[in-house]
Structure 1
Amino acid sequence: MKDLNQIQTFYFVGIGGIGMSALARYFKMQGKAVFGYDKTPTDLTDELIAEGIPVSFIDEISEIQKEVISKENILVVYTPAIPKGNKILNYFVTKDFHIVKRAELLGEVSKNTLCLAVAGTHGKTTTSAILGHLLAECNMPVTAFLGGIAENYNSNFIYKGSEITVVEADEFDRSFLQLRPDIACITSMDADHLDIYGDAAEIENAFRTFAQLVQKEENVFIKRDLPLDGMTVAIEESADYEAQNVKIKDGAYLFDLKTPNGILENLIFHLPGRHNLSNAIMALGMAILAGSPTDCLPKALASFKGVKRRFSYKIKSEELVLIDDYAHHPTEIDALFQAVDEMYPNDHKQIVFQPHLFSRTRDFGEGFAKSLSQFDEVVLLDIYPAREEPIEGITSEWLLNQIDARQKRVVFKSALTEVLLKSKCRIKLLVGAGDIGAEVNKITQKLKNEA
């Protein structure tokens, strides 16, 4: 790849993606000319446009800005989520523009920094957001590229300096093997993306290869039960970094953190769910190893507000609790149920779930059915296809038939508000990685109006 300092213009094909937009913001902040295309306007693309980044939503060559047509000192960046038939990307290919995947660019940006990489099939975004926040609050010179919108910053990008980078190491398409991390963690490595890997053994091999990219074994943090070498993390089980004396007070975790060099006492963490507490321990360990002063960490952790669509409270009252979450794998739904049941053990719970990808629904149908059956009421939306064509026989009705719940049904998005209003469950959850997220604010407002 060319020296990034020599490149003056960047064009992002799929700029509205959460990882792509963070890089676009980074280069705009560096004084570069940044342009992009995406299929659909969103709040995120609106923000990019407001920040001075032109975005087109029409897949036609005529929509490419004249500043981009010249090949000199221009880098085109794309994401694997872009369909093969995309006219704009194919134009750049046929005209021999310098083109790279997002993951390759992220590796180039982070290679001359102290790179802290967060990997795992679940928990990447929350862990990297906690880590970026801890370092920023402790005045460390950090740039963080996040896969979600951190509530503290209302952004997927944190900038406090350029000596340290926090990046999400995405296992999809083996993208994380483009990175060269100095410190890394692996939060989980459950089977996922079987359309890419084929089976669980292959995805484990990929994570093992990723861990080996870190030169020092003691610079890799792993959950205690993973078959990898590194510094172990656990909650009230013997580990190198262990949460001890865990209590819940006013919806927050209170705990002490045992580390190889001593104990941090009286930590407060406001995100529900033991999976999130595990993520926080990972982030604390990485921050300490990166040189963050330990005396500032308790206050920094207590001030972390969370990530949008990761157990995000939209309504929290005596009459109704509405939670928005990105969970799209059975393990994530299990963790979500654990969190909500721990906080609201005596309340009935309704989940609205939008399955994401036909292949994932097929591959984990039994797991989804078991996870969803824990809820009192289950409402399914149609499967969100994302990059896929339909698979014969794999539908939300097929999944519904496997679910053992007191009440269950498949509905259209247009009927969601009515279904939610009719339910007597106090705890309601809107869950999935598809376009259900675009419905959340509208539904929230309607429920508030009816309250």
Structure 2
Amino acid sequence: MKNIHTYKNYYFIGIGGIGMSAIARYFKFSNATVYGYDKIPTKLTHNLENENIPIIYDDNISLLPNTISVENTIVIYTPAIPENLKIKNYFIDNGFTLVKRSQILGEITKSTRCIAIAGTHGKTTTSTLLGHICKYANLPATAFLGGISANYKSNFIYNGSKISIVEADEFDRSFLTLYPNIATITSTESDHLDIYKNHESIIDSYNQFADLIPDNGFLIVKKGLPIKAKHLTYSAYEKADYYAENIQLVNDHFKFDLVTPHQIIKDFILPIPGKHNVENAIAALAIALQLDIEAEVLRRALADFKGVLRRFNKHVFENNKVYIDDYAHHPTEINAVLDTIRNLYPTKKLLTVFQPHLYSRTADFAEDFAKSLGKTDKLILLDIYPAREIPIEGITSEWLADKIPLDDKEISSIDNVLETIKTKDFDVLLTIGAGNIDTLYDPIINWLNEIKI
């Protein structure tokens, strides 16, 4: 592959994906011409169009721009794109250079000091926090994020190109295409078993990722994970090379001291709830210290962190109702969200609306989903969001609901669920899932604002 920065045009197939759109913004920011296709318009694609990136939503090759050619254009695609997509096959048949999203991200990281954040859970919050810290400290860093930063209203943070901060995605073993100098591994739990088949294969892949770190690099791993490469450890729950001491919950915020191998830095304030986020913060702070950022700058940056959209976004209304929206789509993530809510509101009635994501994930973790969802008071289970998959016979939301130990539970389509929610008695409403459940966010906000005490 020739130097990826020498092309005039960059065409993204599946540009509305959270990872794809960050890379599209990178090339647009580099003054290249960026085009895209996606199946449906979303808030994210609308924002890209407002940034002067033309996007089409019809799989019709006659709509492709006439300025693109084999010589001046590289095509970036996501593995979620179906094989029979006409636009993709047009590019293949006509000899264009096509690369996966992970490959192009790997090429970008090759010429930078790359910081890669890996793990089944915690990647987005940790990488977003680290990107925010680097921006706050005015380091020459670019962050490619898997979520929308509440501070910057984007999944792309730019302040220079000497350092790249990326989410090291384990799906399709994408993280093995990166060139990390510094990395963290937050979790090695099972997920994407349609790719990995078993947990041993997942652990093997994370160990391959860890082996990418050069001898003069820095690898920090959550304490207790089975990583063989030389590394330091971190934790919010026990002593490690980097760990939190004197953790206090003050209203919705955490206060803690950071213990490192060389010093104790006191009085950090983390403005987002959830003890798991203290752990994410420790990983980000440990890496930031490797970048020689001063302690006082770290304190101020952390206190200024507003989090990530769809990561425990909380609203409290004049009618005293509480609404929380989160991206949680794995049982461990659901447990973390529900435990945080129970800590904040131990006596309030909780209604949870969950949209399962992928038939394979629902089948693989059905018993764990049942246990985690059993922690709510009332449950509305949406139809399974298929994403890239075709249905698996017998794997339905009704099948999952039968396993959940709750009396107050029901199934709904996403089209009808808002009307169902309006009939329910609750103090706290939680919406969780990684599909299109986010389309409920604004309508729920609007409705709860209308309800008077």
TM above 0.5, yes or no, is yes
**Which whole-Å deviations, capped at 9, do the CAs of 1:106-127 have from their partners, x for residues lacking one?**
1111111110000011111111
Query: Which residue of structure 2 lines up, in the alignment, with residue 51 of structure 1?
Result: 51
CA contact (8 A) 1:118 1:184 kept: yes
Query: Which residue of structure 2 lines up, in the alignment, with residue 355 of structure 1?
Result: 356
Question: Which region of structure 1 is more displaced relative to structure 2, 119-128 or 306-315?
Answer: 306-315
CA contact (8 A) 2:317 2:448 kept: no
Q: What are the ranges of 5 or more consecutive residues in structure 2 without an aligned counterpart?
A: none
> Deviation at 1:293?
2.3
**Which whole-Å deviations, capped at 9, do the CAs of 1:291-346 have from their partners, x for residues lacking one?**
22222000000100010101011445562110110111111101111211121122
After superposition, the CA RMSD in angstroms is 1.3
Aligned 1:165-176 pairs, distance under 5 A: 165-176=164-175
Question: Which region of structure 1 is more displaced relative to structure 2, 212-221 or 339-348?
Answer: 212-221
Counterpart CA distance in 1 for 2:209 and 2:216 is 12
Query: Which residue of structure 2 lines up, in the alignment, with residue 29 of structure 1?
Result: 29
Counterpart CA distance in 1 for 2:425 and 2:209 is 47
CA contact (8 A) 2:117 2:168 kept: yes
Query: Which residue of structure 2 lines up, in the alignment, with residue 250 of structure 1?
Result: 251
**Which whole-Å deviations, capped at 9, do the CAs of 1:56-84 have from their partners, x for residues lacking one?**
1000111111112x211211000101111
Match of 1:66, SS state, is coil
Match of 1:298, SS state, is helix
Match of 1:108, SS state, is helix
Q: Measured at CA, do residues 277 and 393 of structure 1 come closer, stay the same or move farther in structure 2, by a change above 3 Å?
A: same
> Deviation at 1:217?
8.2
Task: Report the TM-score, using the length of structure 2 for normalisation.
Answer: 0.97
> Deviation at 1:159?
0.4
1:6 lines up with 2:6 in the alignment: yes
Query: Which residue of structure 1 lines up, in the alignment, with residue 184 of structure 2?
Result: 185
1:417 lines up with 2:428 in the alignment: no
> Deviation at 1:431?
0.5
> Deviation at 1:218?
6.8
Counterpart CA distance in 2 for 1:315 and 1:419 is 21
Q: Give the partner amino acid of 1:50.
A: N
Question: Which region of structure 1 is more displaced relative to structure 2, 311-320 or 131-140?
Answer: 311-320
Counterpart CA distance in 2 for 1:398 and 1:52 is 45
Q: Measured at CA, do residues 361 and 282 of structure 1 come closer, stay the same or move farther in structure 2, by a change above 3 Å?
A: same
Counterpart CA distance in 2 for 1:349 and 1:201 is 37
Aligned 1:144-163 pairs, distance under 5 A: 144-163=143-162
Match of 1:414, SS state, is coil
Query: Which residue of structure 2 lines up, in the alignment, with residue 42 of structure 1?
Result: 42
Counterpart CA distance in 1 for 2:111 and 2:340 is 39
Query: Which residue of structure 1 lines up, in the alignment, with residue 236 of structure 2?
Result: 235
CA contact (8 A) 1:147 1:156 kept: yes
How many residues matched? 450
Q: Measured at CA, do residues 205 and 270 of structure 1 come closer, stay the same or move farther in structure 2, by a change above 3 Å?
A: same
Query: Which residue of structure 1 lines up, in the alignment, with residue 291 of structure 2?
Result: 290
Counterpart CA distance in 2 for 1:342 and 1:285 is 27
Counterpart CA distance in 2 for 1:402 and 1:217 is 49
Match of 1:67, SS state, is coil
Match of 2:425, SS state, is coil
Match of 1:182, SS state, is strand
1:204 lines up with 2:195 in the alignment: no
Counterpart CA distance in 1 for 2:370 and 2:98 is 41
**Which whole-Å deviations, capped at 9, do the CAs of 1:400-431 have from their partners, x for residues lacking one?**
00001241111122332233233222111000
Match of 1:248, SS state, is strand
Match of 2:226, SS state, is coil
Counterpart CA distance in 2 for 1:413 and 1:28 is 35
Match of 2:398, SS state, is helix
Aligned 1:27-426 pairs, distance under 5 A: 27-68=27-68, 70-216=69-215, 219-228=218-227, 229-316=230-317, 319-426=320-427
**Which whole-Å deviations, capped at 9, do the CAs of 1:150-182 have from their partners, x for residues lacking one?**
000000000011111100000000000000100
CA contact (8 A) 2:223 2:240 kept: yes
Counterpart CA distance in 2 for 1:294 and 1:19 is 31
CA contact (8 A) 1:149 1:307 kept: yes
Q: Give the partner amino acid of 2:339.
A: Q
**Which whole-Å deviations, capped at 9, do the CAs of 1:257-299 have from their partners, x for residues lacking one?**
0011201110000111111111111111111112222220000
**Which whole-Å deviations, capped at 9, do the CAs of 1:189-225 have from their partners, x for residues lacking one?**
1110000010111011101110110013871111112
CA contact (8 A) 2:118 2:185 kept: yes
Percentage of pairs with the same residue: 49
CA contact (8 A) 2:114 2:179 kept: yes
CA contact (8 A) 2:319 2:451 kept: no
